[in-house]
Amino acid sequence: MVVESVSPAPGPASTSEGDGGASANPRPVIMGKSEGNKRKVWIIVGSVVGGIALLVLFASLILWAQKFNQRQKMQQMERAAEVGEALHLASIGNVKAPAAMVTRTRPVLETEYVT
């Protein structure tokens, strides 16, 4: 790739050399505007695609971290539940609820005192 340099213009060439007035220093080839534009477009497209890929990767990392924390909390709660006292489950309609096996004191009717 050759880039045009900013230098003073060469003086007029002498015709005594016999080359038809061509200068000894040929002009450098300048990259065309279309080639430069294509390169800029590819840089922009690559940056946009890379940015989107980076955002997707970052979002998936955040989601994974949230699910990991949720799983850890569930495991901790399950461990705490297994350590505690197990309650008997009784079916009430369509719902299973914990129920005590035996009550501590038996209810006594008032009429039983009078015998």
SS3 string, the chain, reads CCCCCCCCCCCCCCHHHCCCCCCCCCCCCCCCHHHHHHHHHHHHHHHHHHHHHHHHHHHHHHHHHHHHHHHHHHHHHHHHHHHCCCCEEEEECCEEEEECCCCCCCCCCHHHCCC
**CA angle, 63 then 64 then 66, to 5°:** 65
Token duo for residue 23:
């200068």
Which tokens in the block code for residue 105? 């004191």
Two tokens at 25?
């220093």
Q: Model pTM?
A: 0.42
Average the pLDDT over 61-84 and give the result. 92
- Residue that wins the pLDDT comparison between 103 and 57: 57
Token pair 């002009």: residue: 27
Instruction: Write out pLDDT tens, residues 20-53.
Output: 555 555 666 555 567 788 899 999 999 999 999 9
